[in-house]
């Protein structure tokens, strides 16, 4: 139920994001979801891709610092209150959200919320108990 995500640390300067996406494109790696967080000096690019190990390898070969973490992908109806319902479930279980990002799938019917929680296993158990659909990487890549 956990989805592997890569995190790329990059200097906060013009062109670095373009370099990363070019390397991935040249190696036929498809980005399914991403998030960028930055500070004055550096940024963290979080990616869900179709070929995790290959992405990690080619980015490292091109001088980028790359890590791999696990996240949870929750599918919800793409309508008002979808995120609020997930967060209420998590709040009731006293689980901290470390970060999140989201995307809407091609049909426009559902949204996918990507979470990193303080207690990952407990979060999965809570969300499933409350009737939420947890997606695998393969399911995300098929959207």
* Distance between CA atoms of residues 70 and 19, nearest Å: 24
pLDDT at site 56 = 97
pLDDT of 75 higher than 90: yes
The tens digit of pLDDT for each residue in 81-129 reads: 999 999 999 999 999 999 999 988 766 688 999 999 999 999 999 999 9
Cβ atoms of 74 and 83 closer than 8 Å: no
Longest dimension (CA), the chain: 45
Domains observed in the chain: 3-69 (3.30.2130.10), 71-142 (3.30.70.260)
The tens digit of pLDDT for each residue in 17-60 reads: 899 999 999 999 999 999 998 777 788 999 999 999 999 999 99
Quick check: helix, strand or coil at residue 111?
strand
pTM (global) more than 0.75: yes
* Distance between CA atoms of residues 20 and 109, nearest Å: 30
* Distance between CA atoms of residues 36 and 124, nearest Å: 24
């Amino acid at each position: 139920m956990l989805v592997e995500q890569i995190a790329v640390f990059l200097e906060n300067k013009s062109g670095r994001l373009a370099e990363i996406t070019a390397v991935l494109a040249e190696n036929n790696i498809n980005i399914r979801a991403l998030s960028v967080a930055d500070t004055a000096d550096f940024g963290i690019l979080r990616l869900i891709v179709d070929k995790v190990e290959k992405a990690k390898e080619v980015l490292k070969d091109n001088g980028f610092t790359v890590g791999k973490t696990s996240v949870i992908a929750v599918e919800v109806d793409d309508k008002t209150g979808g995120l609020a319902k997930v967060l209420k479930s998590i709040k009731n279980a006293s689980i901290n959200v470390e970060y999140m990002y989201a995307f809407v799938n091609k049909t426009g019917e559902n949204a996918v919320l990507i979470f990193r929680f303080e207690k990952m296993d407990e979060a999965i158990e809570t969300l499933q108990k409350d009737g939420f659909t947890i997606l695998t990487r393969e399911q995300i890549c098929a959207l």
